[in-house]
Chain A
Amino acid sequence: MAEKINQKQNFLKGIVKENPIFVMLLGMCPTLGVTSSAFNGFGMGVATLFVLLMSNMVVSLVKKQIPSKVRIPAFIIIIASFVTIVEMVLEAYVPFLYEQLGIFIPLIVVNCLILGRAEAFASKNGLLASILDALGMGLGFVMALTVLGATREILGSGSLFGLQFVPENANTFILFILPPGAFIALAYLTVLFNKITVKTS
């Protein structure tokens, strides 16, 4: 029973308590770079979730075979292999998203979130725990990116997931889909997130 509760916490911690974006500030480059719309943020989040899940699984399976001196390069190769797979799949099946995310797809390799989880969690824990950890952290990441993307899209282009809800020529806060808007929107979302988590805990 105790183990069950532990696993549940393992999964849930990534979503709120140790949220990779709002609390730990990991993987900020794609967070700020691709979230000009909710769909882009969601797409990037799912791509990262996939790489994180696969790399956590593989790392936790082969952790005993990797000498600790070369573990970081080994983790990077594992991560880079899955990133290459994601890159090819996106280019073949979702070329629109591939164009939009551009340079940030190969840069999933250097997303500190993924290497961080491999080093801090998967290299010390079993398969199931690592899968749950990756799912929790990944979902926290997807949620944060989607919320940030949605906020910027609503304010900046008056639409959500591409559905326009203001008249064609209405004035919107263009600022929010430009680079400065990414920083400003994330700043206020972090304040909001902190406020909510402080109240509930």
Chain B
Amino acid sequence: MVEVGKIKREFPKAEKHYDFNKYVAAFSIATLMFILGLTFGIYLMNEKVSAINEMQDSLKLEVMSIELQNILFQDNPCSDSVIPLEEKLEDITSRITFMENSLGKENKQVLEIKKYYSLIEVNHYLLMKNRKEKCGSDYNLVLFFYSNKDNELESEKQGYVLSNLKTKYTSDKIKIYSFDTGLDLDMIRTLIYFYNVTTAPTVIINEEKIEGFQDKEEVEKLIA
């Protein structure tokens, strides 16, 4: 007895009407396609992993290359010949950001790549610092120490401020080198010790240490 609104109805017993074989076939096709999709997905994931490994290998080469360039330029810092392009650094930075977003900030491969990249950054910084002292160039050198664990939001905000200024003033006027204080790298620990960095975010602008989040106006004042 089924009651619909005010009317009660009596319905006959239901007639069996289905094709069992069709259900089996549908189930089989769906399972097959599903497995196909999973397999294809795993294949793509592996491709991505090997792509990241390739990137890692090329970064290793870059580290060694820039170390040698540093040595060469020690004696002739003001030479007009080719300096390691900032564009390349830009490119790697954006790729790392992208990987952090899609794979996560804790991903092992991402962290490894960040380590190599940090070494390249330090080398570039030393090169530029040497150049500035010996050739009288007028660009600002900024070391940015951030954390993805403590005070994450403050570090994030500081990062955005610095990126914005980098776009505004271009690399002719401001060169920014970012270091993740949580990264397990001796070089970074050395820098932290050198500059006596105790908290994140911390910016070192032209060798002057400023702790805590600095908004856009404040940073602009410090880069004349």
Q: A and B: real partners? A: no
B contact residues vs A (CB 8 Å cutoff): none
